[in-house]
Amino acid sequence: MHTPLKGLLAICLLVAPAAVAPRLNSARPVEADAHDQEPTALQQAMDTLKGGQRALKKLIADPAENQVALMNTLGEMEHAALAALSERPPATEERPEADALWLVGYKRQIATLLQTVLTLEDAALRADADALADAYTQLGEVKKTGHERFRDL
Task: Write phi, then psi, for 145 (nearest 5 degrees).
Answer: -60, -45
Q: Is 150 in the site for ligand HEM (CB under 6 A)?
A: yes
**Helix/strand/coil for 94:** coil
CA 27 from chain center: how many Å?
25
Q: Is 60 in the site for ligand HEM (CB under 6 A)?
A: no
The single residue among 50, 57, 58, 126 that binds ligand HEM, judged by CB under 6 A, is 50
What CA–CA distance (Å, rounded) separates 89 from 37?
Answer: 17
CB 115 within 8 A of CB 122: no
Q: Is 126 in the site for ligand HEM (CB under 6 A)?
A: no
The single residue among 39, 86, 99, 126 that binds ligand HEM, judged by CB under 6 A, is 39
**102 Cβ contact list (under 8 Å, min separation 6):** 95, 150
The single residue among 23, 40, 119, 129 that binds ligand HEM, judged by CB under 6 A, is 40
Task: Write phi, then psi, for 6 (nearest 5 degrees).
Answer: -65, -40
Q: Is 143 in the site for ligand HEM (CB under 6 A)?
A: yes
Q: How far is the CB of 2 from ligand HEM (least distance, A)?
A: 58
The single residue among 56, 106, 119, 135 that binds ligand HEM, judged by CB under 6 A, is 106
Q: Which range binds ligand HEM by CB under 6 A, 7-15, 57-65, 102-110, 126-134?
A: 102-110
Q: Is 56 in the site for ligand HEM (CB under 6 A)?
A: no
Q: Is 74 in the site for ligand HEM (CB under 6 A)?
A: no
- Helix 41-59 × helix 67-85 angle, to 10°: 160
What CA–CA distance (Å, rounded) separates 153 from 145?
Answer: 13
Amino acid symbol at 141:
E
Which spans of this chain sit near ligand HEM (rule: CB under 6 A)?
A: 39-40, 42-43, 46-47, 49-50, 53, 89-90, 106, 109-110, 113, 139, 142-143, 146-147, 150-151
